[in-house]
Amino acid sequence: MTASSIIPKLNRMDAIVIGPGLGRHPGNWPLMQELFHFVKNQKVPFVIDGDGLWFVSEHIEHFPRQMVTTVLTPNIVEFSRLCKSALGEEDVLNVRSHSQLQHLAAELSRKMDVTIYMKGEVDLVVTPNGEGKCDPLTMSTSSFSFEMFDGFEFKEMWRSRGCHCRKSGALLVLG
């Protein structure tokens, strides 16, 4: 998987996910950089998870700001790495207070200018302006339901409520 083979296909995608199963081979870093550039310019929804988060934490100084469509989805270990590299926080794994984790997530979100969806005993979702989001499971379930049920009635129900929806979509998962 190389940037030159992937990037030309991205204009057809409605969303991009990178990280799960990507691996940490240094040869993947150029792909990450090209994706950052593409997402920042095209504003396509972009989810970074797994090994993609490892690359972000290892190369935090190269992570572009104003990638407003980007969501980082760390577990607590990945969150700890991100906090250490972006905020200089050394001891995140020992934080037990939900409110302290929420504060760190909000600080990280503001600093990186992305939405953080931290998975854990209690999921946290924060945006760069400090707002929390509605129940993450509800958001995920509604998105998947929309794509799973291809029936006209389901999509028409959403359209009748003023929601924009396409007849079909494309999602690229890299990893």
Return the number of other C-beta atoms located less than 10 Å from residue 44's C-beta: 18
Q: How many domains does the chain have?
A: 1
Residue of 137 and 66 predicted with greater confidence: 66
Per the CB < 8 A criterion, the answer to whether 174 and 16 are in contact is: yes
Structural domain boundaries enclosing 43: 3-174
pLDDT level of residue 133 (50, 70, 90 thresholds):
low
Q: What does the pLDDT read at residue 58?
A: 97
Q: What does the pLDDT read at residue 106?
A: 93
pLDDT average, residue stretch 18-22: 90
pLDDT per position as a tens digit, 81-97: 999 999 999 999 999 88
β-strand pairing of 15-18 with 171-174: parallel
Alpha-carbon gap, residue 1 to 4, rounded angstroms: 9
Per the CB < 8 A criterion, the answer to whether 109 and 133 are in contact is: no
